[in-house]
Amino acid sequence: MDELLTVEDLHFFYGERRALDGLSLTLQAGEVLGLLGPNGAGKSTLIALLTGLLRPAAGRVAVKGEDPRTAAARAGLGLAPQELALYDDLSARENLRFFGRIQGLRGPRLEQRVRTVLEESGLTERAADRVAGFSGGMKRRLNLAVALLHEPAVLLLDEPTAGVDPQSRLALYELVERQRALGRGVLYATHYMEEAQRLCDRVAIVDHGRLLALDTVPALLAVHGGPALLVAERGAETLRVETRAPLEDLARLQAAGPLDSFTLRQPDLEQVFLRLTGRQLRD
């Protein structure tokens, strides 16, 4: 597979504060790589370094082998920043035309791409309306549409579903899945573990600028997730049992006395994060 992004032993400081501490990862073509961590973990800093906005204190970042501080390397990047980086007083179409032009699109090609991304993001009907009148979800979809406009090899999505309603969130997921199907690499920074679990081929868990784990979701769960949790209720009593053999443990509890109800909670990324850092992801 093609290596689209390379991050090696990356360090960065804001003044005295360490923001990234020896982070290393790669992104392959056709892969969605989740960057999972709480606010302040260093996700946005990594994206800023990948777009050449910041210069590393040490280590190396490369986009298709090139330094992202060169314009040529950035031509292959599509960024959907955490902020809604749009012009509120322009219409959706005007925003797309402008960002398309600065990406080098012109003439019929530009118009065709504008039409396509408007359709993909479900905004065709509102294309002529000013962005100021859009809902949060519509703005998020347009924010992503701008990143897709020039069909970049690498998409950097920084918290793309922040503050979005469930319907828009699903539409955004579909857009991301379509990019993967097209062979693009997606770096997906989020602090929503459900998103990472659903969308990402691999997940990098970061905290305080350090990479704590990087693997596929099943592998992360297997290695760091711990046992499943069986919760059963008998009368006023609640029983919690950590288990690697839930059926056997359930039968054992039932044999001790009839149960009113039970739930089995499989390990998730929340638990992985808890076990790796000793605190909740949303702390």
Partner 1 sequence: MGTLFAIAGKDLRLLLRDRAGLFFTFGFPFLYALFFGAIFSPDGDEANRRIPLRLVDLDGSPAAAAFLDSLAARPGLDARRDSLAGAESAVRRGRATAALILQPGFGRKSERLFSGDPPEVELLCDPARRAEAGLLQGLLMEQGFRRLETRFQQPGRLLPEVRAWRDSLAPHAALDPSLGPLTRWTGELERFLIHQARVDSLAAAAPVTQADPTRTGGLPAGFEPLRVRTRELAAQRVGPQSYFEISFPQGLIWGLISVAASFGLSLVVERKEGTLRRLRAAPLRRRQILGGKALACGLAVLGLMVAMLIFGLFFGVRAERPELLLAVLPATALAFTGLMLLVSVLGKTERAAAGIGWSLLMLLAMIGGGMVPLFYMPEWMRVLGHASPVKWAILAFEGALWRGFGWAELLPICGILTAFGAGCALIGLKAFRWSET
> Residue 107 or residue 166: which is nearer to partner 1 going by CB?
107
Six-digit token string for 261: 């109800």
How far apart (Å, rounded) are the C-alpha atoms in residues 39 and 150? 29
Sheet with 237-243: strands ordered across = 237-243, 228-234, 261-265
List C-alpha distances in Å: 57 to 31, 170, 224. Answer: 28, 38, 31
Q: How far is the CB of 139 from partner 1 (least distance, A)?
A: 11
Residue 80's H or E segment, with its range, is strand 77-80
Residues between 70 and 89 with contacts to partner 1, criterion CB under 8 A: 71-72, 74-75, 77, 79, 81-87, 89
Q: How far is the CB of 97 from partner 1 (least distance, A)?
A: 9
Residues between 100 and 139 with contacts to partner 1, criterion CB under 8 A: 101-104, 106
User: x-or-dash pattern for partner 1, window 163-202, by CB under 8 A?
Assistant: ----------------------------------------
> Residue 14 or residue 57: which is nearer to partner 1 going by CB?
14
Tell me which DSSP letter residue 29 carries: T
Work out which of 98, 227, 270, 275 binds partner 1, going by CB under 8 A.
98
Q: What is the dihedral of CA 15, 59, 219, 164, to 10 degrees?
A: 50
Work out which of 23, 34, 51, 175 binds partner 1, going by CB under 8 A.
51
φ/ψ of residue 167, rounded to 5:
-65, -45
**Sign of the CA dihedral with 74 first, then 79, 85, and 89 last:** positive
Number of amino acids touching partner 1 (CB under 8 A): 30
How far apart (Å, rounded) are the C-alpha atoms in residues 121 and 274? 35
How far apart (Å, rounded) are the C-alpha atoms in residues 103 and 108? 14
**Sign of the CA dihedral with 18 first, then 11, 156, and 94 last:** positive
> Residue 69 or residue 234: which is nearer to partner 1 going by CB?
69
Q: How far is the CB of 240 from partner 1 (least distance, A)?
A: 44
The answer to the question of residue 90 lying near partner 1 (CB under 8 A) is yes
User: CB under 8 A: which stretch of 1-9, 68-76, 214-222, 243-251 binds partner 1?
Assistant: 68-76
List interacting residues with partner 1 (CB under 8 A).
Answer: 14, 48, 51-53, 71-72, 74-75, 77, 79, 81-87, 89-90, 94, 98-99, 101-104, 106, 146, 156
